[in-house]
């Protein structure tokens, strides 16, 4: 028998403690970092599948907002003569339309991401929140590509960015945070109540009309500004128009209210999503 010092040593297995869902943290950054490769793979798969076997491929990112801009310009810019504070209507509507297309795409894809990835959820464990983050990230990729169209239109009209461009990135993060918080609520509800999937198109359309995509935010009386501020996308669109379409700057108190609303929706969405997350594999 060989000496004990020469016997092969086996690594001591790491102890994994499984806690009830109520004793877990709402957000575990270390766990999300461990699954970063899965997150990148899902984002890449989403972008690749979206434009696979298409005739013009990634050009759809530019064609869709361009065609919508033409339709809105003819209907609201020419026929109804929508006020724009002296801004050319094409760049006025495009600066809001690009933000809205990101919000609509991210909200719809993230809200159905749990049910749409049943094959993953029922087979392996990973933080389910990765699916929502991946859907929003893929939509952000399309938004960044579509900015080329806005830049080209700014050059055509001779419009230069204003100081509001410094707030553009933080405001887009505010839009992503708002979509993220709402998607946590909707995606968790969608697992149990499939009626939510039928309600999503209506909610998205209603949200668009409540956001100043084709009209200026000050078209309504000032007494409704507080209601507008409860929709963070209003502030995001106003800042985008301030930055790239030479529009008026939004009121600072509206920005503060919108940030508070987005934070509240996100925190409560985390709480609701985490309460139901453990039951997802059994229900989907």
Tell whether 10 is covered by a domain.
no
Structural domains in the chain (count) = 1
Tell whether 113 is covered by a domain.
yes
Task: Note the pLDDT of residue 276.
Answer: 87
- Nearest CA among 167, 151, 149, 153 for reference residue 88: 153
Tell whether 283 is covered by a domain.
no
Q: How far is CA 152 from CA 26, 94, 138, 235, 237, in A?
A: 43, 11, 23, 24, 19
Tell whether 263 is covered by a domain.
yes
Task: Note the pLDDT of residue 19.
Answer: 53
Tell whether 161 is covered by a domain.
yes
CB 265 within 8 A of CB 178: yes
Task: Note the pLDDT of residue 134.
Answer: 94
pTM: 0.87
Tell whether 6 is covered by a domain.
no
Task: Note the pLDDT of residue 117.
Answer: 86
Tell whether 8 is covered by a domain.
no
Task: Note the pLDDT of residue 111.
Answer: 93
Task: Note the pLDDT of residue 5.
Answer: 53
Mark the ranges of the chain whose per-residue pLDDT is less than 70: 1-26, 55
Task: Note the pLDDT of residue 8.
Answer: 53
CB 110 within 8 A of CB 187: yes
How far is it, in rounded angstroms, from Cα 100 to Cα 112?
Answer: 18
Task: Note the pLDDT of residue 30.
Answer: 86
Tell whether 182 is covered by a domain.
yes
The residue segments making up the domain with residue 137 are 29-47+56-74+85-278
CB 182 within 8 A of CB 106: no
Euclidean distance between the first and the last CA atom of the chain, given in angstroms as a whole number: 56
């Amino acid at each position: 028998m060989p000496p004990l010092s020469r016997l092969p040593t086996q690594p001591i297995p790491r102890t994994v403690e499984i806690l009830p869902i109520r004793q877990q943290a709402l957000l575990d950054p270390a766990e999300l970092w461990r699954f970063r490769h899965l997150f990148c793979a899902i984002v890449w798969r989403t972008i690749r599948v979206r434009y696979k076997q298409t005739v013009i491929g990634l050009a759809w990112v530019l064609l869709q907002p361009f065609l919508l801009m033409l339709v809105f310009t003819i209907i609201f810019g020419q026929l109804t003569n929508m006020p724009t504070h002296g801004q050319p209507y094409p760049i006025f509507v495009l600066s809001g339309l690009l933000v809205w297309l990101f919000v609509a795409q991210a909200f719809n894809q993230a809200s159905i991401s749990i049910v749409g990835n049943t094959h993953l959820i029922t087979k392996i464990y990973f933080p389910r929140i990765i699916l929502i983050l991946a859907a929003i990230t893929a939509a952000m990729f399309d938004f960044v590509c579509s900015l080329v169209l806005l830049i080209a239109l700014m050059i055509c009209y001779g419009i230069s960015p204003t100081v509001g461009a410094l707030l553009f990135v933080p405001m887009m993060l505010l839009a992503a945070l708002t979509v993220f918080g709402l998607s946590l609520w909707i995606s968790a509800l969608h697992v149990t109540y499939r009626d939510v999937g039928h309600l999503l198109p209506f909610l998205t359309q209603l949200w668009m009309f409540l956001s100043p995509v084709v009209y200026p935010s000050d078209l309504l009386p000032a007494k409704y500004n507080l209601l507008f501020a409860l929709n963070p996308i209003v502030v995001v669109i106003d800042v985008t128009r301030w930055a790239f379409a030479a529009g008026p700057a939004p009121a600072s108190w509206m920005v503060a209210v919108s940030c508070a609303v987005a934070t509240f929706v996100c925190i409560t969405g985390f709480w609701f999503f985490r309460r139901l997350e453990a039951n997802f594999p059994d229900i989907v």
